[in-house]
């Protein structure tokens, strides 16, 4: 594989940039693989990469219905954080933070990781107490957390509404300075390029139509490009998990819901952190191009539509304007939607299934992007070793029946309430 | 904007309604021996189909009645609405 560097850039400039190698190939599927990963999104591509890199398993195919990076890895608001209270989520995400910090070097691809810090605003004494507890839990797990009072928040984001007579005055906030953003497409492309160079077949425009399961053991898949055999198969399909589960006669603790995001017209630099509104569900950052990147609540009903309705967008942006009044002056540039695999406790599932050789990675709710490297790393381990890693032991499929839920937000099973 | 025909009030915008989830999920009967698996099915497991979905909505800013709505989860088309008490 051609290494990307300033030297390769200069070298290729002499030939008018016409001789760059393709970043990944477009192979036809082989008859058999050691491992098939279904879903060419961030998590699937990362899983294939870590299977090859960490476990030396390179006879791997990624099967993608559309094109790689066309789903949620290209539709999110690019926020990366590990500000969780529960040990399972905190330790898993903080492991991911280390992978994020090294990702550009590791993948030889600039993912533009920008650890600019995230601030969760608090709007009451009770919320300050809750953030204090969460911050302490984070620090016990080795994650950086700083509790900010109103004045400290005002120094960092003076453009927020600090007037006295507002419905939700800012009392302070919890900050994770090491959190940030990254360029989401580059994450998908970087993993794809490295996985391809180590022998992984990335097969796009190939839909899975069925599974061959005999005596409780997976033997292969049926696709729009023919049958493919495999000893092990990993599902990494986020919002389409229930659709494939139905083909496997499985019912999962997952509902598929619609989440929207939007960006404003680009403006001059004003916001150099990620900020979330604490009295509702709204988050905002400014992209390198200057656009305000915003998101919030689910649309609130089961959906596979990948496009949203305006009432939710209006609701979310009303919260945004309550937090940052200047947003009301901006024109909207783009809005879009993606479908979320909402689990019944808000935490993911990375586990084996009752079918031998079939592995499940789903339930990422709104938080899939930041988990991309840790999810791929632990899922690759789970597949290669046929048992979960310590980091994803808590993300078991049977925790719902055994009662070992990881309900970070305390929302229970009504996933559409946020 | 979705428009939902409340069987009591007529066609109204979605902002008058509140979502209540899968209407086909049945609570296990009271005062009977129920297996853990049955509770699991009721509390946590969902089909979440791509296509026709029978779901509960409450006309919260209207007559406050719970209703059943048959809706396509891919196209958001609403086919039929029923009173909550209607057997389908």
Cβ–Cβ < 8 Å for A139, A91: no
Residues in chain A with CB shorter than 8 Å from the CB of B50 are 240, 242-243, 256, 304
Size of interface A-B (CB pairs under 8 A): 72
Q: Report the alpha-carbon distance of residue A97 to residue A202 in Å, rounded.
A: 26
pLDDT of residue A411: 82
Please check whether residue B8 lies inside any domain of the structure: yes
pLDDT of residue A418: 64
- Strand B78-83 with B66-72, pairing: antiparallel
Mean pLDDT, all residues of chain B = 95
Q: Is the pLDDT of residue A181 over 80?
A: yes
Residue A412: band (very low, low, confident or very high) from pLDDT cuts 50, 70, 90: confident
* Sheet hosting strand B66-72, strand order edge to edge: B18-22, B52-58, B66-72, B78-83
Q: Is the pLDDT of residue A414 over 90?
A: no
* Closest CB from B1, B22, B50 relative to A304: B50
Please check whether residue B30 lies inside any domain of the structure: no
- Are residues B19 and A344, on separate chains, in Cβ contact within 8 Å? no
Please check whether residue B17 lies inside any domain of the structure: yes
- Are residues B50 and A242, on separate chains, in Cβ contact within 8 Å? yes
User: DSSP assignment of A235-252, as one string?
Assistant: E--GGGHHHHHHHTT--B
Alpha-carbon distance A300 to nearest alpha carbon in chain B (angstroms)? 7
Give the count of domains, chain B: 1
Tell me which residue has tokens 């046929």: A386
Q: Report the alpha-carbon distance of residue A56 to residue A243 in Å, rounded.
A: 31
- Report how far Cα B40 is from the mean position of its chain's Cα atoms: 19
Q: CATH number for the domain including B88? A: 3.30.2270.10
Check if B19 contacts A (Cβ < 8 Å).
Answer: yes
Q: Is the pLDDT of residue A124 over 70?
A: yes
Range of the domain at B57: 1-25+49-88
Using DSSP's 3-state secondary structure scheme, residue A172 falls into strand
Using DSSP's 3-state secondary structure scheme, residue A413 falls into coil
Q: Report the alpha-carbon distance of residue A362 to residue A340 in Å, rounded.
A: 10
pLDDT of residue A415: 84
Residues in chain A with CB shorter than 8 Å from the CB of B43 are 344, 400, 413
Please check whether residue B85 lies inside any domain of the structure: yes
Q: What is the ipTM of this complex?
A: 0.96
User: DSSP assignment of chain B, as one string?
Assistant: --EEEETTTEEEEGGG-EEEEETT--PPPTTS---HHHHHHHHT-B---SSEEEEEEE-TTTT--EEEEEEETTT--EEEEEETT---
Q: Report the alpha-carbon distance of residue A247 to residue A237 in Å, rounded.
A: 13
Q: Locate A182 and state its tokens.
A: 């990254």
Alpha-carbon distance A209 to nearest alpha carbon in chain B (angstroms)? 14
What average pLDDT score do residues A216-229 get?
98
Please check whether residue B43 lies inside any domain of the structure: no
Check if B26 contacts A (Cβ < 8 Å).
Answer: no
Strand partners, A147: A174
Q: Which of A399, A401, A381, A404 is closest to A391 using CA atoms?
A: A381
Please check whether residue B59 lies inside any domain of the structure: yes
Alpha-carbon distance A334 to nearest alpha carbon in chain B (angstroms)? 18
B51-60 b/e with 16+ CB inside 10 Å = b? eebbbbbbbe
pTM of model > 0.90: yes
Q: Which of B42, B77, B84, B64 is closest to A301 using CA atoms?
A: B77
Residue A409: band (very low, low, confident or very high) from pLDDT cuts 50, 70, 90: confident
* Closest CB from A243, A252, A256 relative to B45: A252
pLDDT of residue A375: 98
Please check whether residue B32 lies inside any domain of the structure: no
Residues in chain B with CB shorter than 8 Å from the CB of A354 are none
Please check whether residue B12 lies inside any domain of the structure: yes
Phi-psi region of A116 (alpha: psi -120 to 50; beta: other; left: phi over 0): alpha
What average pLDDT score do residues A319-332 get?
97
- Strand A254-264 with A274-277, pairing: unpaired
Mutation target vs B (from A260, A302, A396, A402; most B CBs, 10 A cutoff): A302
* Nearest residue of A to residue B48, measured between CA atoms: A255
């Amino acid at each position: 594989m051609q290494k990307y560097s300033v030297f390769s850039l200069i070298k290729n400039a002499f030939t008018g940039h016409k001789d760059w190698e393709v970043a990944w190939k477009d192979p036809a599927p082989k008859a058999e693989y050691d491992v098939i990963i279904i879903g060419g999104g961030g998590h699937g591509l990362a899983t294939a990469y870590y299977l090859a890199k960490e476990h030396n398993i390179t006879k791997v195919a990624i099967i993608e219905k559309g094109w790689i990076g066309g789903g949620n890895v290209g539709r999110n608001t690019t926020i990366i954080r590990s500000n969780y209270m529960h040990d399972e989520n905190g330790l898993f995400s903080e492991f991911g933070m280390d992978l994020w910090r090294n990702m550009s070097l590791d993948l030889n691809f600039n993912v533009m990781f920008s650890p600019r810090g995230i601030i969760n605003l608090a709007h009451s004494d009770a919320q300050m107490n809750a953030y204090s507890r969460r911050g302490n839990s984070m620090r016990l797990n080795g994650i950086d957390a700083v509790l900010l009072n109103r004045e400290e928040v005002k120094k960092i984001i003076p453009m927020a509404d600090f007037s006295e007579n507002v419905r939700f005055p800012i009392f302070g906030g919890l900050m994770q300075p090491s959190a940030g953003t990254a360029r989401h497409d580059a994450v998908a492309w970087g993993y794809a390029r490295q996985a391809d160079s180590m022998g992984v077949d990335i097969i796009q425009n190939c839909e899975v139509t069925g599974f061959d399961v005999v005596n409780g053991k997976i033997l292969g898949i049926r696709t729009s490009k023919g049958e493919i055999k495999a000893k092990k198969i990993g599902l990494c399909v986020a919002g389409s998990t229930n659709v494939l589960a139905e083909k496997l006669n499985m019912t999962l603790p997952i509902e598929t819901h619609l989440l929207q995001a939007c960006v404003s017209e680009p403006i001059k630099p004003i916001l150099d952190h990620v900020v979330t509104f604490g009295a509702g569900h709204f988050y905002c950052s400014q992209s390198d191009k200057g656009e305000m990147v915003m998101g919030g609540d689910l649309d609130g009903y089961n959906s596979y539509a990948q496009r949203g309705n305006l009432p939710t967008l209006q609701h979310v942006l009303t919260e945004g304007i309550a937090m940052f009044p200047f947003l009301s002056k901006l024109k909207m540039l783009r809005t879009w939607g993606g479908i979320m695999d909402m689990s019944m406790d808000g935490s993911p599932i990375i586990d084996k299934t009752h079918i031998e050789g079939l592995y499940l990675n789903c339930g990422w709710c709104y938080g899939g992007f930041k988990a991309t490297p840790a999810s791929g790393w632990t899922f690759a381990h789970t597949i290669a070793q046929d048992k979960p890693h310590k980091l994803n032991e808590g993300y078991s499929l049977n925790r719902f029946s055994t009662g070992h839920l990881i309900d970070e937000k305390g929302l229970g099973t009504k996933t559409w309430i946020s | 904007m979705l428009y939902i025909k409340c069987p009591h009030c007529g066609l109204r915008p979605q902002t008058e309604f509140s979502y209540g989830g899968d209407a086909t999920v049945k609570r296990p009967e009271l005062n009977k021996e129920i297996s853990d698996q049955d509770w699991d099915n009721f509390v946590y497991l969902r089909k979440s189909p791509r296509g026709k979905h029978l779901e509960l909505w409450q006309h919260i800013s209207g007559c406050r009645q719970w209703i059943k709505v048959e809706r396509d989860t891919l196209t958001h088309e609403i086919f039929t609405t029923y009173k909550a008490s209607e057997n389908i």
